[in-house]
Amino acid sequence: MKYSYYPGCTLKNKAKVLDAYARASALALGFELEEIRDWQCCGGVYPLGSDEIATKLSSVRALADARDHGRELVTLCSACHHVIKRVNDDMQNVADIRTRANNYMQLDTPYTGETNVLHFFEVLRDRVGFDALAKKVVNPLKGKKIGAYYGCLLLRPGEIMAFDDPENPRVMEDFIRALGAEPVVYPYRNECCGGYISLKEKEMATRMTDTIQESASGFGAEMLITACPLCRYNLNMTANGLPVVYFTELLAEALGVKEGIEA
Amino acid sequence: MQRIGVFVCHCGSNIAATVDVKKVVEMAAREPSVVHAEDYPYMCSEAGQAKIAQAVAEKGLTGIVVCSCSPRMHEATFRKAAERAGINPFMVEIANIREHCSWIHKNIEEGTEKAIILARAAIAKVNLNAPLFPGESRVTKRALVIGGGIAGIQSALDIADAGYEVDIVEKTPSIGGRMAQLDKTFPTLDCSACILTPKMVEAAAHEKIRIYTYSEVEKISGFVGDFTVDIRKKARSIDATKCTGCGVCQEKCHSKKSLSEFNRGLGTRSAIYTPFAQAIPNVPVIDREACIKFKTGKCGVCAKVCAAGAIDYEQKDEIITEKYGAIVVATGFDTIKLDKYDEYAYNQSKDVITSLELERVMNAAGPTKGHLERLSDGKHPEHIVFVQCVGSRCSDERGKPYCSKICCMYTAKHAMLIRDKYPDVKVTVFYIDVRTPGKNFDEFYRRAVEEYGVNYIKGQVGKVAPQPDGSLLVQASDLLDNKQIKLKADMVVLATAIEPDPSVRPLATMLTASIDTNNFLTEAHPKLRPVESPTAGIFLSGVCQGPKDIPETVAQAGAAAVKAIGLLAKDKLTTNPCTAKADELLCNGCSTCANVCPYGAISYETKLINDHGIREDRRVAVVNNALCQGCGACTVACPSGAMDLQGFSNRQIIAEVDAICR
Amino acid sequence: MQEQLINRAKELLADGTVVRVLGWRRGDMDYNPEVAYFNSADELNDFVYNGFCGANLSKYMIEASKLEGRTLVFLKPCDTYSFNQLLTEHRVDRDKAYIIGVGCRGKLDIEKIKAQGITGITGITGTPDAVKVSTIYGDFDIACKDIRLERCHVCKGKEHRVYDELIGESADTRDADRMAGVEAIEAMSPEEKFAFFRAELSKCIRCNACRNVCPACSCRKCVFDSTKFDSAQKANTTSFEEKMFHIIRAFHVAGRCTDCGECSRVCPQGIPLHLFNRKFIKDINELYGDYQAGESADQRAPLVSYTFEDAEPGIVSERGSK
Amino acid sequence: MSNVSKTERQAAMIREISGANPAKCMKCGKCSATCPAFDEMDIKPHQFVSYVQDGNIEALAASKSLWKCLSCFACIERCPRNVKPAKLIDAARQIVEREKGGDYLSPDEIPALLDPELPQQLLVSAFRRYRR
Amino acid sequence: MPVNEKTGEFTPKIVAFCCNWCSYAGADLAGSSRLAYPAEVKIIRVPCSCRVNPMFILRAFEKGADGVIICGCHPGDCHYSTGNYYARRRMTLLFSMLDYLGVESGRTRVEWVSAAEGVKFSTTMNEFAAKIHELGPNVRLEDLRCKNN
């Protein structure tokens, strides 16, 4: 099984491991992530204005490329997923954006939202299946108490992201369980880490990550996992906080393909 | 040739403000057959109706057009006025120049022009009207009440007391409904069971009332005065004639882990059970999903311990077919599912409960025997937070757009009762608005604040976060202080929106009763006919029509009963004369019309027909006027145009089309 | 085959099974046999059955059903669909009919012969596969497959749906897609569609031949002749009326039309009227499941039934003008 | 152009860019109850809605709340009336940014803000939200 | 072509057939709620959407209507149980035929409007009228000889 794959800027730089572990794990699970050609940065945040078109085009380009290959489009980074999924929804449902974006793009076949966008977690849950994943685990992460950090981007707006219950998600907990570890549910797992605010308002962002870290450790988590490099960066700002790792690292470890990939 | 009178109503300024009524009169007077045209401020008044009588007498009118409000408002009024004046009531047509014209158009030219055209269409139709004469149909003097809560019980008692037989159909094993689940009632704090159970007993003992519990309506056919209803009596697995209600079977039952529906899933019950102690009938049912005997074939302990030999594992569902003249719908409500509101952590913490669950917690027969305690650890709470409007007043698909109406009052009740019984417990209520219209209602709410020290904070709760120590962190707005506050609570109670019981949707389809987008049954008129469905013979009792509290429900139940009694008191009903009629000379006898008739009103006869001198036996359609309801499906199915609908004939409608497109 | 039919008809008359025979009688030319009753063995000597006997005799059974005694009727395979449909609608009496299902190798269209520039026809004789057309200018041999009626190219099949006995062999003549004509129009732009139908319908002279021949158009009195809709009309007095007439005619027979093709066969102006009926048939098949009127006498027609999940009328604009 | 009409134009622009209808707000305060940046804001999310409704755009444009909103969509997700406060805030932010000199972030500031762990997406996101 | 004498704008004629039980009441509710829609829309009351004969629709077009809309109870909610199911099939086939004849499919519409849906009634009529304005006068089905000029 082959998926079109959109890595995004940070996965080529600061978060190379997030990408490398994901690809290795994918192969171990019997599917392949084929990077789409000439992808461009998604912009990191979804352009909220109804009149912002140009900033949505990089997503459209990626979506149209996957469509032309007849594949589903897989993402890893929460921010990329959020942006591309929402632009796709615009292309499906907002006639004005669809028309104007296509006018810009001049594709051979206009893009009208045909591509299905999947986050890597959705591939694991809906395509591979957590039961099948559990069977492929060679190094069960027994005894590890892991808190899942979802953040906001994967979950909200729930209607469009349709990723999980935005107020009580479970996909990452199921994932942790499939790897043989013990998920720790804590109430702030779907609250914002501060996002881009941490560039200029470090203190404010730290106050927010403190709340998240405190809640997770209070419920007994020993580490946090995330899909987003920015979430990881922000959560690490909390002094003496729990270690934060990419979920793909744990996955690669459990599947026994971690060795040889440079951290 | 008709002699038509046109009467244009001002409706005060309701019509006259955007329609130049004088101009309408002037233009109408020029239409063919119009011999009289005038305007009047209120045509529906006595004086307005007298104008019609006067014109009939003076000008010898044969047809009447009233340009006024919707025919749904005053068609009957003007038909009666015409009848009094000596004209067949079906020679009256209404041009709706209020709801369909003056009220929606602002420009007087536009409004006037449209009103003239609507008047022309009505005139063109009346030109082709013919006198019609209603027939008669019989009334079965028995009522069906669907739903055995307080609404259904009250309607049944009132109808039965008037001397008519009533059947109550209740889907659960006992009558009582939601009210039976409540602990106390506002604003008097009566014990709910204490005031409800006498009514339940009275209904059960009433010689005119039959109660079918654990039963559902399966099929409804017929029409006002003559409904035929199939009732499915689900297999109770108990012979009710033998059961003494001793309760030994329930004690001895080996399967005791089923969640109690009556306790909202907060406690358990046995597989053989009566929902609550005062259940009526006091005859248990076996939950076949939970019963070991049904699941494995083994066990059978209930049959062994039953001295009366009432257990019957072989019992089957039974279909009972009955005839009724009137049907009262009293299907009630349930609380909405909170799956999509997990910011309140309802699925994450046992200490976040709905208000209806709190009723069970507060009740002596409930899961905690009436002790206020946390369901997670049984600890006495120090601080309880109430959240109002959970799912009510929501314009998204998560909740309901309407106000559930009862929550403000029952929350005040809960807060007060808790503070009264446990003065050490702190109570905070988060509200958007406190809505307390009703006798002694606001006083009641103020007592909660002033005498019982309940802390009301204006603002909604944004998140409830369970804490490692088992407490709940409530993050909310304090709008008056313009602050975001975080409170530590031990329990959170959600004033969950109510919605019509889901069974009402298929029932409405069976009844052909109209239902709104929120699944509340629609009333015939929101103000003037609030307890009747637009479908004749169907009456609305309780929350199935809209959110209401107990006194309102009881009042409406009584009103619905009176309307039903009014119907049952008649021996005959006049039928709608706007029925289909086949022209024998044109009929092919092809049966196409009968295929689309929902009432089986069309049959075929072989008749000797004299078709312009050709005499031959022909198969022709015959419409039974008592059965035909006048939908017109047959008229379009008929290729030859032999089938036509009286009052809405092909030529009449075409005349209207022509007048509008002229 | 013709002799076989005559002999069998004589037998049935002789033994009293039937009191009359409904069939085709020799016309003034070889290519225009006419529908006729035969009451005796003598009269049957004028009986013909050849490639030009396209006329569908089903509709005549409406009147025959009113007569005393049983009528022998010859029905080709496609005609039996019409008979079944009439049975469904209680218009013919099965007990009054003795049906001989006759074999069919496809029927011929004289207009197609004339269209080849052949005039002055004096006679036509033929074999199953070809005809010899004699004219005052000489003889011409033409292959049957080139001059078949449109309906034979899209034949529903050679199986008789109702009969008392069968005589004669049939041959399959289907060699075209029944819906191709409809699809071609559906593919047009609205302007092209409108232009196409305006050109065709403006030829209509409202002679009512289509209506008179149609076995589904069997109303005692047509709505266009009655006062019921203020729609009585004899000839087109306005440009709209032929549209109205043909749309309503097609609508009235929708779900009942067996696609026997008689309307197009008899139209003196050569209007392809079957394109209306087939459009309804195509829509019905696509939207409500395949349905063939007259396949049996106990079907429920699509316009007198429904499902809860039927397509909404908006589907028309969703599908758009392709 | 008078000041009043500019305000009206801007209020209309906010409605258009955001696609949100502030008139739907019933003042329940759930957005402010839910906002993780509440304490940092001078004009609170629920007030933002009223300001747009009242056409008080000048105050909004000067508000530091514009730069504190995280676009985490918690208010949008939980709003019972579908008012979309975060979109209104973003629209106000855009009105400021689309005018000359409205940017909240200048490339010159970047070197001082960098650290070795900082992910690229942070710069990208911040530039997108703080400048147009 | 119907034009407003003052403005010279196209003012279409739109006929709306409304069933008595749901849609007519929905129109009443739109009225009592003061939900405006163009005066071009004129309502004809019929007992049920199944009473609408294709003849009526064609007649309207013949006499110069630019759009015809049929409103009935939602499927499943018909006052007569099944009327709108038959109407749905009939209208689907008729509209498809009109489309086939080159008449713009936007000129005909069926909408289910309940007695409680005043807003929907008004929105539907506004949308439909806007569509007819967009399509312009209906010269394809109109019998031009019916016209005075």
Which residues of B fall within a CB distance of 8 Å from C223?
Answer: 639-641
Assess whether pLDDT exceeds 60 at residue A219: yes
Question: Within its chain, how far is the Cα of C151 from the centroid?
Answer: 8
pLDDT at B135: 87
Instruction: Answer whether C314 sits within 8 Å of E108, measured CB to CB.
Output: no
Query: Do B463 and A187 count as a contact with CB atoms less than 8 A apart?
Result: yes
D to C contact (≥3 Cβ pairs closer than 8 Å): no
Answer whether E82 touches C (CB < 8 Å): yes
Report CB contact under 8 Å: D80, B476: no
Cβ of residue B467 closer than 8 Å to a chain A Cβ = yes
What is the reported pLDDT for C53? 93
- By Cβ distance, the residue of A167, A168, A218 closest to B468 is A218
Reported as a single tens digit per residue, the pLDDT across B197-215 is 999 999 999 999 999 999 9
Which residues in chain B are closer than 8 Å to C252, comparing Cβ atoms? 639
Show the tokens assigned to C321.
Answer: 């003008």
Kindly determine whether residue E97 and residue C311, on different chains, have CB atoms separated by under 8 Å: no
Q: Which residues lie closer than 8 Å to C193 by C-beta, 6 or more apart?
A: C185, C321, E100, E101, E102
* CA dist., res. B488 & res. E29, Å (int): 48
- Record: contact A168-B342, CB cut-off 8 A: yes
Check whether the bond before A157 is cis (ω within 30° of 0): yes
**pLDDT the model gives residue D2:** 47
**pLDDT number for residue E81:** 81
In chain B, what residues touch A187 (CB-CB under 8 Å)? 345, 348, 463-467, 473
Specify whether the CB–CB gap between C3 and C11 falls below 8 A.
no
Give me the residue label for tokens 């009220």: B103
Adjacent-strand bridge partners of C38 = C21
User: How high is the pLDDT of residue C237?
Assistant: 53
Q: C47 with C134, same domain? A: no
Are B534 and B627 within one domain?
A: no
Q: Across-strand partners of B319?
A: B232
Same domain, B386 and B489: yes
How far away is chain D from the Cα of B662, in angstroms, using its nearest Cα?
42
Q: What is the CATH number of domain D3-99?
A: 1.10.1060.10
Structure tokens at B640: 């030859």
Contact partners for chain B, using 3 or more CB pairs closer than 8 A, are A, C, D, E
Question: Region B180-190: what's the mean pLDDT?
Answer: 95
Q: Which domain covers residue B267, as residue numbers?
A: 248-305
B62 and B196 co-located in one domain: no
E94 Cβ neighbours under 8 A, 6+ residues apart: C247, C251, E54, E57, E108
Residues C15 and C28 in one domain: yes
Are chains A and C in touch, 3+ Cβ pairs below 8 Å? no
CA distances from D42 to A169, A194, A199, D69 (A): 32, 18, 20, 11
Are B348 and B442 in the same domain? yes
Find chains touching chain A: ≥3 CB pairs under 8 Å.
Answer: B, D
Closest residue in chain E to residue B70, using alpha carbons only: E28
Nearest chain B alpha carbon to E78: B512
Segment B128-132 mean pLDDT: 95
Per DSSP, A125 falls in state I
Tell me how crowded residue A42 is: count the other CB atoms within 10 A of its CB.
28
Give me the percent of chain A exceeding a pLDDT of 90.
94
**ipTM of this complex prediction, to 2 decimal places:** 0.70
Question: Are residue C140 and residue C214 in the same domain, yes or no?
Answer: no
Q: Facing residues of E43 across strands?
A: E16
Cβ atoms of C215 and C82 closer than 8 Å: yes
Ordered by start, the domain boundaries in chain A are 2-120, 130-255
B616, with CB counted inside 10 A (0-12, 13-18, 19+), is exposed
Write phi, then psi, for B293 (nearest 5 degrees): -60, -45
Q: Are residues C137 and C60 in the same domain?
A: no
- How much of chain A, in percent, has pLDDT values that exceed 70? 99
Determine the distance in angstroms separating the CA of C200 from the nearest CA of chain E, rounded to an integer. Answer: 11
Confidence of residue C206 (pLDDT cuts 50, 70, 90): confident
Q: Which chain B residue lies closest to D24 (C-alpha atoms)?
A: B395
**Is domain A130-255 given the CATH code 1.10.10.10 in the classification?**
no
Q: For residue B605, what is the domain's CATH number?
A: 3.30.70.3270
Q: What is the pLDDT of residues C102-153, one digit of tens each?
A: 999 999 999 899 988 888 888 888 877 888 999 988 888 999 888 999 999 9
Q: Report the candidate in B659, B578, B580, B576 with the shortest Cα–Cα distance to residue B624.
A: B580
* Domain that residue C232 falls in: 177-322
Shared domain check, C182 and C315: yes
Give how far D38 is from chain B: nearest CA, Å.
7
Q: At residue A26, does pLDDT exceed 80?
A: yes
**What is the average per-residue pLDDT within A91-105?**
92
Q: What is the pLDDT, as a whole number, of residue C226? A: 82
Note the pLDDT tens digit of each residue in B403-440. Answer: 999 999 999 999 999 999 999 999 999 999 999 999 99
What is the per-residue pLDDT for E145? Answer: 47
**pLDDT above 70 for B656:** yes
Contact at 8 Å (CB) between C125 and C33?
Answer: no
Whole-angstrom distance, CA of residue A216 vs CA of residue B468: 9
> Would you list the DSSP string of C158-192?
S--SS-SEEES-------S-TTHHHHHHHTS-HHH
How far is E131 from chain C, CA to nearest CA, in Å? 12
Interface of B with E in 46-75 (CB under 8 A): 70-72
Task: Name the residue of chain A whose CA is nearest to B341's CA.
Answer: A167
CA-nearest of D103, D88, D71 to D17 is: D88
CATH dotted code for E14-146: 3.40.50
Q: Which residues from E are below 8 Å from B101, CB to CB? A: 31, 39
Tokens of E73: 């109870």
Is B69 in the same domain as B156?
no
**Which of B103, B658, B660 to mutate against chain E (most E CBs within 10 Å)?**
B660
Neighbours of C6 (CB within 10 A): 20
Q: Residues of chain D whose C-beta is under 8 A from some C-beta in A?
A: 16-19, 36-37, 40, 67-68, 70-74, 76-77, 86-87, 90-91, 94, 104-105, 109, 113, 117-126, 128-130
Q: Which of A192, A196, A233 sits opposite D36 (nearest CB)?
A: A192
- Which residue does chain D place closest to A202, by CA atoms? D113
Class of domain A2-120: mainly alpha
Render pLDDT for D23-35 as a digit per residue (tens, 0 to 9).
999 999 999 999 9
Q: For residue B71, is pLDDT > 80?
A: yes
Do C17 and C162 lie in a common domain?
Answer: yes
Over range B34-62, report the average pLDDT: 96
**Quick one: which H or E segment has residue A109?**
none
Q: Residue C308, Cβ neighbours under 10 Å: how many?
A: 7
* DSSP at A52: -
Could you say which DSSP state residue B37 is in? E
Count of the separate structural domains present in chain C: 3
> Is B661 inside any structural domain?
no
Residue of chain A with shortest Cα separation from B462: A167
Residue numbers of A between 17 and 36 with CB closer than 8 Å to D: none
Are C56 and C86 in contact, with CB atoms under 8 Å apart?
Answer: no
Beta-carbon contacts of residue B90 (< 8 Å; ≥ 6 apart): B79, B129, B130, B131, B132, B577, B578, B647
Question: DSSP H helical segments within B320-458, as ranges?
Answer: 355-362, 407-421, 441-450
E97 vs C240, C247, C312: nearest CB: C247
Which of these, B206, B223, B198, lies nearest to B167 by C-alpha position? B206
- The reply to whether C310 and C182 lie within a common domain is yes
Distance (Å) from the C-alpha of residue A165 to the closest C-alpha of chain B? 8
Whole-number pLDDT of residue A71: 96
B395 touches chain D (CB under 8 A): yes
What does the pLDDT read at residue E146? 45
Amino acid at D107: P
- For an interface test with C, give the residue of E56, E59, E96 to mutate (most C CBs within 10 A): E96
Q: How far is B514 from chain D (nearest CA, A)?
A: 27
Identify the closest residue of chain E to C240 by CA–CA distance: E143
Domain with CATH 1.10.1060.10 in chain D: 3-99
Compute the distance between CA of residue B385 and CA of residue B456 in angstroms, rounded to an integer: 10
- List the single residue in B586, B591, B655 with the smallest CB-CB distance to C220: B586
pLDDT over 60 (residue B271): yes
Does residue B188 sit in the same domain as residue B209? Answer: yes
Q: Which of E61, E73, E100 should be substituted to probe chain C, the one whose Cβ sees the most C Cβ atoms within 10 Å?
A: E100
B588 to chain C: which residues are within 8 Å by CB? 89, 91, 218-220
- DSSP 8-state class, residue E3: B
Q: Count how many domains chain B has.
A: 5
* Nearest-5° Cα angle at E18, E14 to E23: 120
Cβ pair B575, B647 in contact under 8 A: no
C172 in the same domain as C26: yes
DSSP β-bridge partners for residue B273: B285
Tokens of A217: 């450790």
Q: Over the stretch C46-93, which tens digit does the pLDDT of each residue have?
A: 999 988 999 999 999 999 999 999 999 999 999 999 999 999 999 999
Q: Is E42 on the interface with C (CB under 8 A)?
A: no
pLDDT for position C238: 57
Any alpha helices (H) in chain A, and if so which ranges? 16-29, 57-69, 78-93, 95-105, 120-122, 130-136, 158-161, 171-178, 202-218, 229-235, 247-255
Contact D121 A77 (CB under 8 A): yes
